[in-house]
Structure 1
Amino acid sequence: MADPEVTFPVELISEREVAARIETLAEALAPRVDDDTVAVCLLIGGLWFAADLMRALARRGRHPLFDALWLSSYADARKTSGRIEVRAPLQWPVAGRQVLLLDDVLDTGLSLEAAVRMLRDAGASEVLTAVFARKPWPTERAVNPDFVAWEAPARYLVGYGMDDAGRMRGLPGVGAMD
């Protein structure tokens, strides 16, 4: 039985459009990465994007190593705490390697900035960043992604890995809760 307090979002981008944007992004990324690149997914939200992008890169003959970094700044809230917590570190060494950092959404930029710093501190030779969605922000961010699949509106997004207190990550498209 459905929870009566759960509201469902207004769809902003369909599953079909998500897939098309991933293919376009993979086309742009394929010439920039190789099989020695380490693709690092920021967990948890980036998992859907990373999985689809890795398959799209494979269709283009690119097979980067895959790893994940679990950072948290939101917990179950709709606003960031402003502090980054490392919940699980990398498993692959990145020293001397190119890294492709993948995340679901660029909002404040805190997680992406912290991850880039961690990867550079770990000796990555280059850190490329790719996000599925970039939301507008009123001030300059410390890190802007190298690759963006979708320029999203300034709304509270759910679906395709993005959540509302852990819910709705599995929606195949992206919706707004506000």
Structure 2
Amino acid sequence: MDPQHIDGDLEKVVLSEQEIQSRLAEMAADIQRDYEGKDVLLVGVLKGAVMVMADLSRHLSRHVEIDWMDVSSYGSGTRSSGVVRIIKDLDADISGRHVLVVEDIIDTGLTLSWLVSNLRSRGPASVEICTMLRKPEAAKTDVDVKYVGFDIPNSFVVGYGLDYAERYRNLRVVATLAPHMYS
């Protein structure tokens, strides 16, 4: 879906499709270099990371395994509820494996911090984080993120997997949602 199809819902485009794809290619090159000679399991965090995971994995020129978790601290609003729950756990045993968590966005970092702690308790060889977007101004806890696509301002954004009330995920861009849509 292109932004012109939902004219009035968006305030402004923050990242174009080309900017996103270009940065993903750069991140994939870094991942390939850093995991040279190692098997890596990409763990996508549903639902938002679907687009990032698909495009990132296509930019990789090596074999990777993919698994999914669905961990939520959001309701249908624009702010984290602070309560983390696992909706879907991993299918794979990660004991002794190199795990790369793939996220769409890091806001407060609270959910991701909990998730990384949970994964590390399962005995992997390593756990690293890759995110398309990060909001440094929104951080409430330090999370060591190895691969960051873009740091963005603390605005409510949608598109490229990011939603508001399950809408806008299929936008090819990242854009700020117009305040009248959620106020």
Q: What TM-score do you get using the length of structure 2 for normalisation?
A: 0.88
Cα distance, 1:110 vs structure 2:
1.8
| Mapping 1:21-170, distance limit 5 Å | 21-33=23-35, 36-57=39-60, 60=61, 62-137=62-137, 141-170=141-170
How much identity, in percent, do the aligned residues show? Answer: 32
Aligned to 2:3: none
Give the whole-Å Cα distance in 1 for the aligned partners of 2:153 and 2:173: 15
Give the whole-Å Cα distance in 1 for the aligned partners of 2:152 and 2:63: 28
Unaligned residue ranges in structure 1 (runs of 5+): none
Cα distance, 1:138 vs structure 2:
5.3
Cα distance, 1:141 vs structure 2:
2.0
Superposed CA offset, 1:78-117 (max 9, x none): 1111010100000011000110000000101122112211
User: Is the partner of 2:59 in helix, strand or coil?
Assistant: helix
User: Is the partner of 2:128 in helix, strand or coil?
Assistant: strand
Cα distance, 1:56 vs structure 2:
0.5
Q: What TM-score do you get using the length of structure 1 for normalisation?
A: 0.90
Which amino acid letter does the alignment assign opposite residue 143 of structure 1?
Answer: V
Give the whole-Å Cα distance in 1 for the aligned partners of 2:85 and 2:77: 14
User: Is the partner of 2:50 in helix, strand or coil?
Assistant: helix
Contact 1:107 1:134 in 2 (8 A): yes
User: Is the partner of 2:42 in helix, strand or coil?
Assistant: strand
Give the whole-Å Cα distance in 2 for the aligned partners of 1:138 and 1:169: 21
Superposed CA offset, 1:53-83 (max 9, x none): 01111xx3x2111000100100211111101
Cα distance, 1:45 vs structure 2:
0.3
Give the whole-Å Cα distance in 1 for the aligned partners of 2:73 and 2:51: 19
Give the whole-Å Cα distance in 2 for the aligned partners of 1:98 and 1:138: 28
Superposed CA offset, 1:93-151 (max 9, x none): 10001100000001011221122111111111110100000112255523131110111
Contact 1:39 1:64 in 2 (8 A): yes
Give the whole-Å Cα distance in 2 for the aligned partners of 1:140 and 1:110: 7
Matched positions, count: 171
More strand by share: 2
